[in-house]
Structure 1
């Protein structure tokens, strides 16, 4: 029988140097965390697998750099086991940031109660940080307008597959960059991308020009690196670059310098290049989530998910993601949804 006094978790065993591999992770069994009076004890149901975890292993981002032995961070969907009297009730379901483990203790103020609407996996994906990131990147940062061309890199990923659809819903022409023809067929046939380009193609630069014959108004950048340098000449005057991620750097011990003459290019075409965190837009989350729900109900958003089973599958899932092996939201299920939740 399982020992409920103990907690299973996945930590960073050693800092990656080069490509991520399974030996960079270690499973541990540790005592159940103590709960301070103002915190909640969570039983994690779903944990996200996202490039941000790889970034934290590499160096400091919006969170401190991980050190060996530290828990792999992630968004979680969890059931409240215990908490303060003025916090979420035991048995309720919340979203928060915790990590790859069965149980977590976090401040009660840091979790967000979830409405009993739809399968919980959607609350981790299009109604979670990925959906909010795509939404604010397209609407608040890029301010996409009808008739524009929006180019999305990492277009088959958890954020990218939503960003292109949101751009299309705003009346723009969405063009996607992914790492395979199979992914591109999904982007065009299921998600309504007008055109796609395989970043691994020997004719990538020519293919990109052909896919964007009138240039690019908005580049939603999930990868950085050489692709950003390839896109810069295609940006039209007053174009915008949304800096969402730099996944091309995470598996490199010594990332390359930025594009040559970046400042000159920005000035010459009056371009705007802006990074952002979804937390910057916290006051508008409820508004965004209502809009995302409405669009999904109206058939304007198709949700792609890749849900693995069991905590031990998380390291391989992240390794595969960094090699381009996922489509849509990638997550790991640790427990079944509580009774009463609608089925997936």
Structure 2
């Protein structure tokens, strides 16, 4: 065997505000042969997700930031290209946290073996992966939707939001999605089966949301924040539950927004309406993993859940694709095709 030519995307500098493609650096360097007990992975599909913006910053968070000059963090569907590890044969498909690179070495730690039969392999990065698990676990543990309740989710055409809404429907709830633009709102109703969709870019967004939720909101799955949250807050019913898994509207902020101070209003609502607002990271609820795979995998196999992907070709285009994702210019789960012969 010989070293494998590879491409990697490094974090070149920490962005101030909105990231730019030149905050990254694309480099070409060989990946050596695997040594005893290791294997070499070829990246097929790379996942792009909003959490990556936080990994680009040096501030305190739930995960260590990417160091300058290091490979950008991320999950990928990979193929074992060569192996000197007894548990991993060449050709095996795996889910790996290898980051933004076309090839890498691994000792097998953290790898998840993938079965390509039940669903396209890219589903392991979306509805059957971290985003799907985020939706399922956050809704099950914090949202606790009951039949007949109204469940609202923002960024609803993304992999988390679309899964939240569809699970809510399967639980007998009214599902209302919030998205940017009429095309995305149409997708929510026609493709994903939501009961209603509201365009957060509409000048009368708050009024439209009120009309879509005539009985108020019982569960609001928060992954955006900002102006969307301000419109949702007055509609939350007594004892409403708010799982918080992201705040995309604030990820690029360099300072607090100008006043007025809304904290007293929020805290008064929390107290008087007995609201339950809880932030979470997906693996807080790792005990839900088996339930998630069984239920969501079953719904997907039965054709009861729809998916949508936004595909980008070429690892070198990942930086621009992440910028677009954070600006809401994608529709569906963003995946990057890294290998020319990557299976669908």
Give the TM-score taking structure 1 as reference length.
0.91
1:191-340 correspondence to structure 2 within 5 Å: 191-256=192-257, 259-261=262-264, 262-335=266-339
SS in structure 2 opposite 1:121?
helix
Q: Which residue of 2 aligns with 1:99?
A: 99
Question: Number of residues paired by the alignment?
Answer: 338
**1:109 to partner: Cα distance:** 2.7
Where do 5+ consecutive residues of structure 2 fail to align?
none
1:66-120 deviation per Cα after TM superposition (whole angstroms, max 9, x unaligned): 3332221111111123456443322211112121101123441311111232321
**1:5 to partner: Cα distance:** 3.9
Alpha-carbon spacing, 1:160–1:234, altered in 2? closer, same or farther (3 Å): same
Quick check: 1:71 aligned with 2:71?
yes
SS in structure 1 opposite 2:176?
strand
Counterparts of 1:272 and 1:158, CA distance in 2 = 24
Over the residues paired in the alignment, what is the CA RMSD in angstroms? 2.1
- Between stretches 283-292 and 198-207, larger displacement belongs to 283-292
**1:250 to partner: Cα distance:** 1.3
Q: Which residue of 2 aligns with 1:81?
A: 81
SS in structure 1 opposite 2:6?
strand
Alpha-carbon spacing, 1:166–1:53, altered in 2? closer, same or farther (3 Å): same
SS in structure 2 opposite 1:109?
coil
Q: Which residue of 2 aligns with 1:141?
A: 142
SS in structure 2 opposite 1:110?
coil
Give the TM-score taking structure 2 as reference length.
0.91
Q: Which residue of 2 aligns with 1:187?
A: 188
- Between stretches 3-12 and 176-185, larger displacement belongs to 3-12
Q: Which residue of 2 aligns with 1:24?
A: 23
Where do 5+ consecutive residues of structure 1 fail to align?
none
Alpha-carbon spacing, 1:119–1:299, altered in 2? closer, same or farther (3 Å): closer
Counterparts of 2:33 and 2:110, CA distance in 1 = 17
Alpha-carbon spacing, 1:15–1:271, altered in 2? closer, same or farther (3 Å): same
Does the 8 A contact of 1:176 with 1:193 survive in 2?
A: yes
**1:337 to partner: Cα distance:** 5.9
Alpha-carbon spacing, 1:69–1:266, altered in 2? closer, same or farther (3 Å): same
Q: Which residue of 2 aligns with 1:175?
A: 176
Counterparts of 2:270 and 2:34, CA distance in 1 = 50
**1:292 to partner: Cα distance:** 1.1
Alpha-carbon spacing, 1:4–1:132, altered in 2? closer, same or farther (3 Å): same
